[in-house]
Structure 1
Amino acid sequence: MKMNRQTVIKELKAKPILNYTRYSLIMAGIWPLRLATQNRLLQRMYSIYSGLIKVYFPSFLLSLSVQFILSTIDENTDENPENIFSQLNYIIGLLIVGVAAVIYQDKNVKEILNYITQDDKEVVCSKDKDIVLCHLKQARVSSRSCLLIMILTFWSGVSMCLENFYRRLEIDHYNKHYNESVEKPFPYVLYYYNLDPEKHATSVLVANNIFVVLNCLLFASTKMLFFSCIIYSTSILKRLQIKFVKLDLCGKSVSQVLRDLVQQHQNVIEFVAKLNKWIKYLVLLEFLLNSLNIATVSIQFITFEKNMLASPILFFCVLFTQTFVLGWTANEIKCQSLVLADILYCCPWYDQSEKIKSTLLIMILRAQKPLVLTIGPLDAMTIQSALAILKASYSYVGVMMNNYK
């Protein structure tokens, strides 16, 4: 569909690369930049809210972990294997979120986000329609990926609350019919110290449902920022390709234009290197723990009751989606960086002066070294890495099912 430049700019202003990511991170209390407001009262309120989130999350994760340990070592515990798998699944997922939230407070992350935000504004002012359209397309990819993760995550959380509500109604009916006193479950199995959750069931249930919302928000927000930054890297590579395709080697100022493009290529290389330095250990954590996380949630919908399948299936979809989005977006950076070498080779470099030939040859050689996001100090993250995660998950499911039986 063709659009005039005014429509393009209007849509681009409405949906920049970090559009949904920025708002979700602000709601999660971990946006590392100042709020776009001069109101000191609002800034102060947000600072307090952010501080409460930073206190709440480790406390919640500690309580969940302590209860999980007690459930596994206590021989007299009445915990079902399904509950053990559920707790392990939550701990793994929230552990990754916690590590990501800590990493996002780093100074380099603020620089990266500032760079992306500023570049969004500069693209809007570009006179090249193809550049603007390219960036708009990547902004749409980012927005749709983020929305998909957000929708799946919150639907998983909502179904978790509804399933717990349904289970509590069933137990209420059972207790009244058989005059029993079977304990009713809560969405999260937490360690309450001396507090008896049954005596304060309403308060604990309300708190648990609030925890579900906050955890979904934190989980989705950290993933969204992760993917948005990777998709942005693909955007700047594609825009650079467009500039080289349009490079007029017969122009009078070709040397100056070529110098500027060489500098832009260097900036892209530096940006991807800085991004990789920031997220490579987060990618490693995702690579190591996502397979276990997918395995535990798979066990849940294999062994759970048929009327309690919605939440684990939806969360499986979340994990499956984020694994392949990560593999695909990381793979795109590698592929697009290699395409640049082909574009340079196809231009009429053979008719140029020795100086321009040398410059283009050096760029072709450099472009043949792919830009990659690595799995920690290991290999590059690609689609094959995502498949490796799923293969490992399948192996874990087999081991867990043998032990479960």
Structure 2
Amino acid sequence: MSSNGSQPLPILDFAKYCMMLAGIWRLSLPTENPLLRRLYRFYSAFIQVYFPMFLISLSLQLTISITDNNAQQTLSKTFEQLSYVIGLLTVGVAAVLYQTNSVKEIITYIIAEDADIARSADKEELRSHSEQVQFCRRSSFGIAILSVWMGISMCSVNYWTRFQIDKYKGEHNGSVEMPFAYDLYYYKLNKVEHASILLLINDASVVVCGLLAASTKIFFFSCIIFPSSILKRLQIRFRRMAVSEERALVVMKEFVLQHQRVIRFIGKLNASMKYVIFLEFLLNSLNIATVSFQFISVRTSLLSIRLSILHYFKIILFFAFLFTQTFVLGWSANEIKIQSLALANAVYSSPWYQQCKTIKGMLLIMMVRAQRPLVLTIGPFDAMTTQSALAIMKASYSYISVMMNNYN
């Protein structure tokens, strides 16, 4: 996908606007209007205050649900709330981390490299980078669409339930407590008397959480996909390295410096993201298990079978969101490792045998360095790969088995 038919769009383009919508973009805004800048700061501050309060309220209500004596009746709802707390805890940690100075430096590097690629006259380099941008944007759009549909389905459950409850109250002249997408702790607010206010709060929570979840995931994947593009560009340059060029030594030094910049960038990216990856790895398996358990254990609603269908639809979307992010993360992290190792083959494929002794020595050092793969790690542990994504799914299956044994 390109902006003018030949040059690829910036890889962070979509992530930038998503983060601005979520109020967590901390670099320059695309407007110089002081009023808009003040409004954005106010909006960002509102998000930064609202989300922690929401997460605390959600966690308190989860604690109340777990300690409820009537556990059999609330088990499915408790697991639903648990999946929200697990997922949103990761989102909250990521949202805070992505506003730090180290992540700002990562963004600055990506923007600078993107601009450098856009200035390239090499069609193969542009095509290679464009393919990475297209994959990034397809993944980002997929996450955004799933997030939007999840929000719509959660709000639909709210409003359909309210319609059915109002109908029930009209027929039976009674009062029924309103269920919500997020079962929050409302302190002294009564769910029957203050249903309209609480419904508004719940819908606002769905929007805020959806924006934060989508923007943090999209930015995360954009940053992880980008290094593969830079490594592929280096491979193309080595294979096309000139033989009789007077500036061969200068060009070679440029390549070495670019490789060193990529190594430092991936090291900094790993230092900033490894604990987010660790949380994803640790909690995604439990989250997928709780979502799957909801699908298995949900019962047909006494109010309406349509409500159950909406619940099923919501659960399926949530599972698709978790499944997609798990395998996109595993594949993207694994691609960095593969492309960093492939650099040694690209150096060997260059016309190294026709170069001077100095350049041959530099190429040999680069080949040796390229034998050590560049990786993103799961916290302080092993590298994140596609095998790690499969391990998450296997762990989820084990958790589901334990849950079903206890449930039955």
TM-score (norm 2): 0.94
Question: 1:103 is matched by which residue type in structure 2?
Answer: L
Question: 1:333 is matched by which residue type in structure 2?
Answer: I
Is the contact made by 1:19 and 1:143 (CA closer than 8 Å) also made in structure 2?
Answer: no
Q: Does 1:270 align with 2:264?
A: yes
Within 1, Cα distance between the matches of 2:36 and 2:173? Answer: 53
**Deviation string for 1:130-180 (max 9, x for gaps)?**
222222221111111110011011111211211232233333334444454
Deviation at 1:381?
0.3
Question: 2:338 is matched by which residue type in structure 1?
Answer: C
**Aligned partner (choices 165, 177, 199) of residue 159 of structure 2:** 165
Is the contact made by 2:241 and 2:351 (CA closer than 8 Å) also made in structure 1?
Answer: no
Question: 2:326 is matched by which residue type in structure 1?
Answer: T
**Aligned partner (choices 383, 398, 401) of residue 398 of structure 1:** 401
Mind listing any 5+ residue stretches in structure 2 that lack a counterpart? 301-307
**Deviation string for 1:221-263 (max 9, x for gaps)?**
0000000001111111111111111101332221111111111
Within 2, Cα distance between the matches of 1:136 and 1:353? Answer: 34
Q: Does 1:333 align with 2:333?
A: no
Q: 1:380 is matched with which residue?
A: 383
Q: 2:345 is matched with which residue?
A: 342
Within 2, Cα distance between the matches of 1:47 and 1:232? Answer: 29
SS of 1:113 mapped into structure 2: helix
Change in CA separation of 1:300 and 1:6 when aligned onto 2, cut-off 3 Å:
closer
Tell me which stretches of 4 or more aligned residues in structure 1 moved more than 6 Å.
none
SS of 1:189 mapped into structure 2: coil
Question: 2:5 is matched by which residue type in structure 1?
Answer: T
> Residues 2-401 of structure 1: matches in 2 within 5 Å?
7-9=5-7, 12=8, 15-75=9-69, 80-304=74-298, 305=300, 306-307=308-309, 308-401=311-404
Is the contact made by 1:241 and 1:343 (CA closer than 8 Å) also made in structure 2?
Answer: yes
Question: 1:387 is matched by which residue type in structure 2?
Answer: L
**Deviation string for 1:46-100 (max 9, x for gaps)?**
1111111010000000000001101111325896211101110110011000000
Q: 2:303 is matched with which residue?
A: none
Question: 1:352 is matched by which residue type in structure 2?
Answer: Q
Deviation at 1:309?
0.1
Within 2, Cα distance between the matches of 1:76 and 1:284? Answer: 34
RMSD: 1.8
Is the contact made by 2:176 and 2:192 (CA closer than 8 Å) also made in structure 1?
Answer: no
Question: 2:6 is matched by which residue type in structure 1?
Answer: V
**Deviation string for 1:356-404 (max 9, x for gaps)?**
2211111100011111000011010000000000000000111111122
Within 2, Cα distance between the matches of 1:191 and 1:289? Answer: 23
For these two proteins, the number of residue pairs brought into alignment is: 399
Question: 2:82 is matched by which residue type in structure 1?
Answer: L
SS of 2:383 mapped into structure 1: coil
Deviation at 1:119?
2.2
Within 2, Cα distance between the matches of 1:292 and 1:273? Answer: 29
Question: 1:250 is matched by which residue type in structure 2?
Answer: S
Q: Report the more deviating stretch, 128-137 or 54-63.
A: 128-137
Is the contact made by 1:341 and 1:368 (CA closer than 8 Å) also made in structure 2?
Answer: yes
Is the contact made by 1:324 and 1:383 (CA closer than 8 Å) also made in structure 2?
Answer: yes
Q: Report the more deviating stretch, 76-85 or 288-297.
A: 76-85
Question: 2:105 is matched by which residue type in structure 1?
Answer: E
Is the contact made by 1:71 and 1:79 (CA closer than 8 Å) also made in structure 2?
Answer: no
Within 1, Cα distance between the matches of 2:72 and 2:26? Answer: 43
Question: 2:273 is matched by which residue type in structure 1?
Answer: I
Within 2, Cα distance between the matches of 1:28 and 1:347? Answer: 46
Within 1, Cα distance between the matches of 2:110 and 2:122? Answer: 19
Change in CA separation of 1:164 and 1:78 when aligned onto 2, cut-off 3 Å:
farther
Q: Report the more deviating stretch, 197-206 or 119-128.
A: 119-128
Is the contact made by 1:146 and 1:224 (CA closer than 8 Å) also made in structure 2?
Answer: yes
Within 2, Cα distance between the matches of 1:198 and 1:313? Answer: 30
Is the contact made by 1:150 and 1:220 (CA closer than 8 Å) also made in structure 2?
Answer: yes
The share of aligned pairs that are identical, in percent, is 53
TM-score (norm 1): 0.94
